[in-house]
Structure 1
Amino acid sequence: MPLAVGHDRRRRSRAGAFAALAGAFAIVLGLGITGWYVIGNQASCGGDEIVLEVAVAPELVGAINALAEDFDEEEHEVDGRCVTTEVRGEDPDNVTYGITNTGPTTGDTESDVWIPDSSLWVNLVQREASEAAINDTGTPVAHSPLILAQPGGAAEDNETEPIENLVPTDAPAAESGRDVRVIDPLRSASGLATLAMISSTIDDQAEDQPELTAALQALQRGAMPNEETAFDTLGAGDDPPPLMVLSEQAAWRYNTEHGGSAHVSYPKGGSHTLDYPYLIRGEDPVVSRAAEEFRAWVTSSESRAVVRKNGFRSPDGAADTDVLTPEAGFQEEAPENLPTPSDDTIAELTQSWNRMKLDTRLLTILDVSGSMAQPVPGTDMNRMEVTTKASGEGLTLFPETSKLGQWEFSTDLDGDTDHRELTPIRELGETVDGQTHREVMTENLESLEPSNGDTGLYNTILAAYREMSRTYEADRVNAILMLTDGQDDTDDGISKNELLSALEEESSKDKPIPVITIAFGPSIDPEPLEEIADATGGGAYTTEDPTEIGDIFLKAFSLRLQGQGEDAGQD
């Protein structure tokens, strides 16, 4: 029995050992299989991840984030490495100026993928930094046409005039046209596209620059620094309400996220469309392939529905009418898309905007010599009255922040000095003794009378040039505007050649001071005035028709679009 018992124990022990061995083998086998699965999975999509940094126009972040989360869950791989995404909102202008070094930037502007709101920024990058590694895939992620937005009830029709017809292109610009507001074109594709639409209707010949000048002045008066300001303005309850140039998506977002009730209308003849291009930055081929994987994902038919849910149209122009509702004025069919302007056009428009944006410091000099009492043929005014009318209308073209001053001139007005100061150069909005500077200047114009003196033209121009040089302000456009009958006839003054020599010797490219003259009268010799204009980068204009006054002022100040200190054509 003991033997039997011992044998049985050995059998049970052996069986237990085999069972334990089998169990251990199963565990090891299971671990091996599991380990093979994990290791195998890591081998196919493991190791170092490829982290794709995606910079997106802020309004598109919600849609791209949602698509990126699904993309990451799918575990896409390139060269056996998983691709994951990091999406962040980045203002397109910030990235553009970071690449080109042509403007101020904040934060990190680097990324592997860039989706700005418009190809306009791509044009600027390609022009200003052609060496930058940017691959335009030619694939738009979303579309959003520009529209005109007003508070609900202000816009009765779903269609209006072309945007360019709503912005005044004549003078005085302050008294004509609708109040059209844009976001600063240097910071906004919608603002930049608005300039392009207006510019496309104006020939780029020199004689048409005054129309562009008037349009830029009209837009700059109400230009808003950013979208937040635009939204605040839209809800301010102004009467009459301004027309805001926004994208469809911005108007939808204002209504849904800001509790607004904006109503949209579509310009006749089509509009520019923000196209949200998909751009790949850098030259790493692995990262580029990862970026192509993400591009295919965000532009798929399934992804388009997500884009439309966020207030955009898909690139085929389709809209979700439950999002862009007819009640708010949105139309189901996309408006005709106007072509994207060239990079040269965009660069010229941004330069023009910058020049016009730079505020003015202007010394206006008015001729009060005896000859200014002579009548202007075909009118019931004398030269003095025509001159003060011209100056008064010109005054309306300047914003409150412009600095202006007034002199009058003849001969021996102040002892043996041919000129006399009427008002010092101050901001038009500055108040002195209960009156704004603009009001004081207007009163001076209304009270001017011709004197009995001669015309000390050359003495006065040189004195004015030296005064403006001495007090030059680099953050403004410094200029001299003289209104005169154009003939220097004093016996005690310097000669024309002496004046030109002094101007040549004392002028500086670092301190350009264009001299602009507007002359009235049938016997004007324009040549001396034109020579003075050539010497200073200014302009010389003559007329006998008071109705041309507004156009002349716009021509004079269109010099700013041609650049300070550059040669400018004269009439």
Structure 2
Amino acid sequence: MGRHTVAAPASMPRRGIVMSIIGAVAVVALVGSGVYLWVGGHLNPLLASADGGCAEPVQLAVVADRTIAPALTAIAEDFDDANDGCVSTEITAQDSADTAAVLASGSADADAWVPESSVWLDRMNATAASLGQAVPAVEVRDGVASSPVVFAAAATKATALASEPVSWTRVLGGALPTILPDPEASAASLAGLYALRGHSSPDDPRQFAGAMIALGKSIPASTTAAFGALGASDAPMIVITSEAQVAAYNNEEQAEPLVAAYPTDGTVALDYPFVVLPEAASQQTETASADPEPDGVKTKAELLEDFEAAIRADTEVLTAAGFRAADGTGKLDLAGVGVEAPIAGTALDGAAQLEILRAWGVLTLRSRMLAVIDVSGSMEEPAESGLRRIDIFQQAAVGAMEKFSGEVELGVWIFSTARNGELDYEDLAPIAPLADLAHKQQIAGIIQSLPDRLGGATGLYDSTLAAVKRVRESYDPEKVNSVLLITDGKNEDENGISLEALLAELKKMDDPTKPVPVIMIGFGPDTDVPAMQQIAQVTKGAAYSASKPEDLGIVLVDALSQRTCRPNCG
């Protein structure tokens, strides 16, 4: 009686949508002894019950994250029954990222929201500010449940996985193969990145940036898709997720169940706050100053508070769904998860998580890049390690290639002087997706062949100008278009363009709607750093210098990870 729930369709896009929270549907429902017509999200009495105690049920609309919506639906059914048909509670399942976007745009057709984490409130506020909207006047209450962030693994590989400590430190160092669902849609993933940063070296920000680049190499379509990949992998690997999501997945009787591995170096937890949305919050204020309702008749504000209390009291339903108590305590008796609650570390910092999310967005932008590599004779010279400069570059280039996702498009030029007739540069591979295995193998072959291509002086300026022109000719507005130029020297082409002429040409070509930053990496003692900095500045790129060729790998990570600070990177 009085049970009316609406679930959002499973095919709904994960983020960036603005949708109506309650759709217009029409069905006939029997409530008590009265007949009601369901229209546009409301029950209208066609024939009110003479002895039901209320002429019309009060409608409560609650939007809940998909992970907790099934449990809240069960609680809502019991709650409506206990109120003798005087309330009808709808639970709409929706990804928290989507709800945050809806609320930020100024739409709030629900009374309450239970997001996966408080971070979505910070995201809502930041999005509203970016849209020029007022920050929604919501009332944030304590969490109604919690779920720690864990590592999910295929049950058949659990023994092999446990042969070494399962920790954030191993994820950070790349020693534990890890899948990360998109943190722009998953609070568990974002909280996982927060925990990961907490275990990185505060003195070396490249460590965390490098880990994010590696994790962003392949982003699954959803958490469920990530879980499915675990069983298909030959080697043990993990998915960063929440304990409740592991329990929910196993409840579906999967062919390959999961187990939750708890990080040995601590974890964090999602808090599921109860959020009263603007319309309901204003109604509460108005109700406090209005005339009281007749005896026995509760207002919407009172019923909303009662429903919140019902959620907190119904620990049986929440624990059966894999949730811990709001304070992180409680025991579970479910397949694949531990009985005792893990000890969560420090509370999640919303501002810090948004900072991480912004960095993630930059690091995982799909790039379209032309790599222009110096193959002048000086690349034969030995470095301090005894290896030649070209050998060290090969090692760094192979490592960088492994960090790129298949969606990155990469082309390769080499340059010295008179490389191709009168031209200082030579086009060896077009700009194309690394997802094309033949193209990726072609580039790998070029990298291996570089020692055999050395010779000539350094035709830096002509090659830079030609590379920018080439990227502009085939500009893709859906990607980050750039030139990555690596050199160990300074311009030595006396017959080529001057620095002043190069800078003038680059300024003339500049188009703010089609930026082509030049990222210049110089290594070794002979690089012309001032010239590199001027070229980078005029193209809104960046210039990096590795004082030792051995530092080239570290500098490549910087070049990939500091796109937000250009052209003023430290």
TM class by shorter-chain length?
Answer: 0.7 to 0.9
Give the structure 2 partner of residue 294 of structure 1.
304
1:567 deviates by: 1.6
1:212 deviates by: 2.8
Give the structure 1 partner of residue 5 of structure 2.
none
Give the structure 2 partner of residue 24 of structure 1.
none
Give the structure 1 partner of residue 323 of structure 2.
312
Q: Secondary structure at the match of 1:58?
A: coil
Give the structure 1 partner of residue 219 of structure 2.
223
Q: How does 1:128-277 map to 2 (within 5 A)?
A: 128-129=127-128, 131-156=134-159, 163-168=167-172, 176-202=174-200, 208-236=204-232, 238-259=233-254, 260-277=256-273
1:536 deviates by: 2.0
Match for 1:135: what amino acid?
V
1:520 deviates by: 3.1
- Alignment partners' CA distance in 2, 1:158 and 1:464: 50
1:527 aligns with 2:530: yes
- Alignment partners' CA distance in 2, 1:193 and 1:509: 35
Match for 1:128: what amino acid?
T
1:548 aligns with 2:544: no
Match of 2:364 among 337, 357, 360: 357
Q: How does 1:12-27 map to 2 (within 5 A)?
A: none
Give the structure 2 partner of residue 71 of structure 1.
79
- Alignment partners' CA distance in 2, 1:512 and 1:268: 45
Q: Secondary structure at the match of 2:216?
A: helix
Match of 1:408 among 405, 408, 414: 414
Give the 3 Å change call, closer, same or farther, for CA 542–151 of structure 1 in structure 2. same
Give the structure 1 partner of residue 117 of structure 2.
118
1:513 aligns with 2:516: yes
- Alignment partners' CA distance in 2, 1:307 and 1:218: 35
Q: How does 1:50-65 map to 2 (within 5 A)?
A: 50-65=58-73
1:287 deviates by: 6.5
Give the 3 Å change call, closer, same or farther, for CA 134–162 of structure 1 in structure 2. farther
Q: Secondary structure at the match of 1:167?
A: helix
1:232 deviates by: 1.6
Give the structure 1 partner of residue 25 of structure 2.
none
- Alignment partners' CA distance in 1, 2:122 and 2:362: 21
Give the structure 1 partner of residue 567 of structure 2.
567
Give 5+ residue unaligned stretches, structure 2.
Answer: 1-47, 286-298
- Alignment partners' CA distance in 1, 2:196 and 2:330: 27
- Alignment partners' CA distance in 2, 1:74 and 1:391: 66
Q: Which moved more, 1:354-363 or 1:455-464?
A: 354-363
Superimposed CA distance per residue, residues 18-56 of structure 1 (whole angstroms, 9 cap, x where no aligned partner): xxxxxxxxxxxxxxxxxxxx99967xx534432111111
- Contact map agreement 2:64 2:93 (CA 8 A) in 1: yes
Q: Secondary structure at the match of 1:480?
A: strand
1:393 aligns with 2:391: no
- Contact map agreement 2:412 2:429 (CA 8 A) in 1: yes
Equivalent pairs counted in the alignment come to 501
Q: Secondary structure at the match of 1:487?
A: coil
1:466 aligns with 2:469: yes
Q: Secondary structure at the match of 2:476?
A: coil
Give the structure 1 partner of residue 449 of structure 2.
447
1:545 deviates by: 3.4
Q: Normalising by structure 2, what TM-score?
A: 0.80
Give 5+ residue unaligned stretches, structure 1.
Answer: 1-37, 103-107, 170-175
Q: Normalising by structure 1, what TM-score?
A: 0.80
- Alignment partners' CA distance in 1, 2:480 and 2:204: 21
- Alignment partners' CA distance in 1, 2:50 and 2:436: 77
Which structure shows the higher helix fraction? 1
Superimposed CA distance per residue, residues 373-395 of structure 1 (whole angstroms, 9 cap, x where no aligned partner): 3x234233333333344333332
1:524 deviates by: 2.8
Match of 1:303 among 292, 297, 314: 314
Give the structure 1 partner of residue 12 of structure 2.
none
Match of 2:502 among 499, 502, 523: 499
Q: Secondary structure at the match of 1:410?
A: strand
Give the 3 Å change call, closer, same or farther, for CA 180–540 of structure 1 in structure 2. same
- Alignment partners' CA distance in 1, 2:568 and 2:316: 54
- Alignment partners' CA distance in 2, 1:154 and 1:378: 44
Give the structure 2 partner of residue 86 of structure 1.
90
- Contact map agreement 2:392 2:550 (CA 8 A) in 1: no
Identity rate, percent: 28
1:463 deviates by: 1.0
Give the structure 2 partner of residue 335 of structure 1.
343
- Alignment partners' CA distance in 1, 2:427 and 2:363: 27
Q: Which moved more, 1:260-269 or 1:178-187?
A: 260-269
1:291 deviates by: 4.5
1:332 deviates by: 1.6
Q: Secondary structure at the match of 1:129?
A: helix
- Contact map agreement 2:376 2:457 (CA 8 A) in 1: yes
Give the 3 Å change call, closer, same or farther, for CA 75–392 of structure 1 in structure 2. closer
